[in-house]
Amino acid sequence: MKFTTSSIALALGVVAAPAFAGGLSMPVADPVAPAAPVAVAPVAVAPSADWTGLYVGGQLGYGQAGTDDGDFDEEGATYGAQLGYNYDFGRFVMGGEIAYVGTEIGDEDAGAEIDGVATAKLRAGYDAGAFLPYVTAGYASAYTADEFQGDDQFDGYVYGAGVDYKVSENIIVGGEVLQHEFEDLGDSDVDLDATTAALRVSYQF
């Protein structure tokens, strides 16, 4: 059987065609894998405590008092009791408190001594979980051992700030700083101011 040059060339072309077809095909790119999701840590939120309820307790502290004419400038220990009620609105806490604080502020021998101070205050605080920072303001009445200008009881106002901490569901410890102002003592133009700082312990019902 005779093969011509043209027939051999044709046969080679038929055999090589699939190879060239595969070699000239465009490469298929691998699909890009989707990015893995990034985990976002949840934002920690301080749990809210329930501050609603009646509370009663005691306090111990220190105070300084003086008149604007310079005739009285004394300091000493303070001690007393408080009774109050708070209502927790969520993050905002409102309440009221009455308290009586006895003092050792003054000079007993000189007859210039503050026996005690009674207060009736409103309180507004922020529920930060176990902590309750607050501001307070209200009425104050000071009682002296001896009369001054014919009086031994003087009305004024009080304001300050404090923080309470819940040791347990019922036990609260805290600290409070108060500024007391008494103007025009008796029939005089003399003003008295007093600053007190106290540690407090209360039981919430």
In Å, how far from its chain's centre is CA 135?
A: 10
Q: What pLDDT does residue 47 have?
A: 56
Q: What pLDDT does residue 149 have?
A: 81
Q: How confident is the model at residue 186 (pLDDT cuts 50, 70, 90)?
A: confident
- pLDDT over 70 at 14, yes or no: no
Using DSSP, how many helices (H) and how many strands (E) does the chain show?
Answer: 1, 8
In order of their start, the domains of the chain are 53-204 (2.40.160.20)
Q: What pLDDT does residue 10 have?
A: 44
Q: What pLDDT does residue 169 have?
A: 93
- pLDDT over 60 at 23, yes or no: no
Q: How confident is the model at residue 146 (pLDDT cuts 50, 70, 90)?
A: confident
The encoded tokens of residue 174 equal 């805290």
